[in-house]
């Protein structure tokens, strides 16, 4: 059995066929899915999750390019209101790919520091987005002594990955491990006991130019087993244990 530790089922590409997506996931041995809402517009994700209790779980965060005083205030209020429903805060973090202005990058950095403290206050794990900002992200996480951290779809270099591993944080390897060398490198060097699997669906499909979906976790688990010269069952079992522990899923 497998767990998709990070996707976006509230994305517009899923609006017409959520039941089929869930059915296909179950057919492919996906036992749980964590969907991440990354803006203050949360009603859609709540409606989806409520239709599949004990199968769909949700995290709530703020996509770094959307960070400003207003959005930060709104999402903080929602996180506190829904703290007993969500399984994590995230995704949150730094994105220098889409944000080039130094002032806005500094706003992201301050927001990340705030979310780290909020995660401690609410005792929630933290799902981190770090795009073209891996070193700054790790620096802030270390500076603030962050705990229970998942580096979602981490695409840093080997040195940065080893810093994450040394801090005992987790790294989720996406389905694009099938065709992206950086994620193949992650699959190789990240110990299985610090690895989760994710689709980031509808993005990062293992099949180019197609919409990704949670069922594709099975494809990435097979690829990771090949890279690590181990069995599919071992990859599936350990990453599922890791996801259950990180998100505190009371299953099985």
pLDDT single digits (tens) 57-98? 999 999 999 999 999 999 999 999 999 999 999 999 999 999
For residue 249, the model assigns a pLDDT of 97
Query: Nearest 5°: phi and psi at 186?
Result: -60, -45
Q: Which domain holds residue 64?
A: 2-247
Residue 177 is assigned to a structural domain of this protein: yes
For residue 25, the model assigns a pLDDT of 99
Give one DSSP letter per residue of 91-138, joined into a string. Answer: EEEEETTT---HHHHHHHHHHHHHHHHHHHHHT--EEEEEES-HHHHH
Confidence of residue 39 (pLDDT cuts 50, 70, 90): confident
Residue 72 is assigned to a structural domain of this protein: yes
Number of domains in the chain: 1
Average pLDDT over every residue of 120-125 = 98
Average pLDDT over every residue of 138-157 = 98
pLDDT single digits (tens) 207-248? 989 999 999 999 999 999 999 999 999 999 999 999 999 999
Average pLDDT over every residue of 126-154 = 98
For residue 252, the model assigns a pLDDT of 42
Residue 57 is assigned to a structural domain of this protein: yes
For residue 145, the model assigns a pLDDT of 98
Residue 31 is assigned to a structural domain of this protein: yes
Average pLDDT over every residue of 128-137 = 98
Residue 252 is assigned to a structural domain of this protein: no
Average pLDDT over every residue of 94-118 = 98
CATH assignment at residue 127: 3.20.20.140
Report d(CA 185, CA 18) in Å as an integer: 32
Report d(CA 185, CA 173) in Å as an integer: 10
Residue 156 is assigned to a structural domain of this protein: yes
Tell me the percentage of the chain whose pLDDT exceeds 90.
96
Average pLDDT over every residue of 104-117 = 98
> Would you state the structure tokens that stand for residue 136, as one six-digit string?
């700054």
> 251 pLDDT exceeds 80?
no
Residue 226 is assigned to a structural domain of this protein: yes
For residue 160, the model assigns a pLDDT of 98
Strand partners, 92: 128
Q: Cα–Cα distances in Å, from 105 out to 93, 133, 210?
A: 10, 10, 32
């Amino acid at each position: 059995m497998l767990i998709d530790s990070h996707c976006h089922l509230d994305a517009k590409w899923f609006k017409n066929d959520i039941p089929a997506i869930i059915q296909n996931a179950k057919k492919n041995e996906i036992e749980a899915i964590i969907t991440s809402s990354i803006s203050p517009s949360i009603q859609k994700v709540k409606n989806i999750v409520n239709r599949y209790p004990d199968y769909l779980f949700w995290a709530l965060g703020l996509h770094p390019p959307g960070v400003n005083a207003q959005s930060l205030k709104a999402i903080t209020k929602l996180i506190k209101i829904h703290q007993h429903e969500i399984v994590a805060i995230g995704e949150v973090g730094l994105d220098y790919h889409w944000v080039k202005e130094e002032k806005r990058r500094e706003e992201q950095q301050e927001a990340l520091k705030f979310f780290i403290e909020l995660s401690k206050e609410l005792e929630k794990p933290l799902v981190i987005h770090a795009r073209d900002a891996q070193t700054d992200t790790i620096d802030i996480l270390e500076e603030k002594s962050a705990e229970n951290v998942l580096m979602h779809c981490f695409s840093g270099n080997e040195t940065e990955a080893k810093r994450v591993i040394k801090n005992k944080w987790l790294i989720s390897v996406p389905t694009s491990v099938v065709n992206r060398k950086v994620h193949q490198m992650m699959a190789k060097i990240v110990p299985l006991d610090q690895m989760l699997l994710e689709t980031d669906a509808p993005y990062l499909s293992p099949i180019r130019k197609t919409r990704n979906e949670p069922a594709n976790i099975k494809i990435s688990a097979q690829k990771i087993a090949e890279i690590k010269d181990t069995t599919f069952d071992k990859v599936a079992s350990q990453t599922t244990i890791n996801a259950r522990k990180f998100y505190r899923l009371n299953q099985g």
